[in-house]
Amino acid sequence: MSPSSYIAVVVAATFACAYPSPASAQKKTPYGVTADVANAPALLKAATYAFTPGQPSYDKTVDQAIITAIDREMSARGVKKVTSGPSDVVVTYLSVRRTDVDLKSTPSAKDGTLREYAVGTLVVSISDPVDRQKKLFNGRIDKPLDLDPATYEATINAAVAAIFEKYPLKGKTP
């Protein structure tokens, strides 16, 4: 490779790293709630639901709090939980906790590390009971977490309520 070709490649690579493409900028998951309502009529018609485990929290207290909050939100929408027999829809949730790094923070004077914080992702998925690959509703929230166990229940209740604000209501568009 000639010296001028080498310089052109280095300049192009530097420019590409310094200025990300719009496509790569769109891949970033912002904190907040997103939802996909694939079949509002089926959700509005549903009278019963069955809960099935998805990717539950490893903390059994958190797992139960999430299930309780989902039960409360479904009940508020007039959909009754059934523990056996057929149901109109199937509900599950998936959760994950990750650590994000604040790349704009000032490095620690002690060891040069950047500020880290816990972020939780919760997805509530509602599917057709016959074909569970047929999603009717997917709601997701990504949110920085307070790791104090005393705040878990309030945080979970607020997160699940925020997801269900996107759920269709009779006579109202989400």
State percent of the chain over pLDDT 90: 75
In the chain, the amino acid numbered 153 is E
| Res. 20: pLDDT tops 60 | no
Q: Which element (helix H / strand E) includes 144?
A: strand 135-144
Q: Which of 83 and 171 is assigned the larger pLDDT? A: 83
pTM (predicted TM-score): 0.78
Tell me whether strands 89-101 and 135-144 are parallel, antiparallel or unpaired.
unpaired
Q: Residue 5 — very low, low, confident or very high, per pLDDT cuts 50/70/90? A: very low
Q: Is 137 helix (H, G, I), strand (E, B) or coil?
A: strand
Instruction: Identify whether the C-beta of residue 166 lies closer than 8 Å to the C-beta of residue 76.
Output: no
Query: Which pLDDT band holds residue 24 (cuts at 50, 70, 90)?
Result: very low
Q: What is the pLDDT of residue 10?
A: 33
Binning pLDDT at 50, 70 and 90, where does residue 171 land?
A: low
In the predicted structure, residue 107 carries a pLDDT above the cut 60: yes
Give the Cα separation of 163 and 167 in Å (integer).
7
Mean pLDDT of 40-65: 95
Q: For domain 29-164, give the CATH number.
A: 3.30.160.670
The pLDDT tens digits for 55-86 are 999 999 999 999 999 999 999 999 999 999 99
pLDDT in the model for residue 169? 86
Stretch 82-107: mean pLDDT: 94
Residue 15 confidence class, pLDDT cut points 50, 70, 90: very low
Is 52 in contact with 90 (CB distance < 8 Å)?
Answer: yes
Rounded distance between C-alpha atoms, residue 149 and residue 127, angstroms: 31
Q: Note whether 116 and 102 are within 8 A (CB).
A: yes
Average pLDDT, the chain: 84
